[in-house]
Amino acid sequence: MKVLVDENMSPALARSLNALFVGEHQIVHIREKFGPGVKDVAWIGQLSTEGRWIVISGDRRITRNKAEYAAFRSSRLVGFFLSKGLYKAPVVKQMERLLALWSTIEKQSDIVAGGAMFELPMKSTRIEQLKV
């Protein structure tokens, strides 16, 4: 699985996940792949041309901005967005929840079409598809 961790999340989180899953998954932070400040529409388009990528993000703006939403929905990407509470939690809590939900993220990303978006909950083990 190829996973991109978005700009609003810790690069250390991406590096840690990548080290943990070395040889099994490729996990990169957006700044590592595109540099700082890349526009959402640009990276969404680029990643989509590279095939199936999983995006982990705290940036729910993608679901509200018409251009970004349209780009994502028509892409080959699958998005997992941190719930508001999880986004505001310390990075250790974010890592804990990602690890707790990792097998669900893997399974869900295998069975959905590109452009799908899900919310990663703070407490529940159930991932809900975003209704936007």
Q: Which two tokens stand for residue 121?
A: 């909950």
Cα atoms found within 13 Å of the Cα of residue 118, Cβ hemisphere only: 23
pTM: 0.94
> Residue 49, exposed/middle/buried by CB under 10 A (0-12, 13-18, 19+)?
exposed
Residue 5 has pLDDT above 70, yes or no: yes
- Please, which pLDDT band fits residue 66 given cuts at 50, 70 and 90? very high
In this structure, the strands spanning 54-57 and 26-29 are unpaired
Residues 6+ away with beta carbon under 8 Å from 3: 17, 25, 26, 27, 28, 53, 54, 55, 56
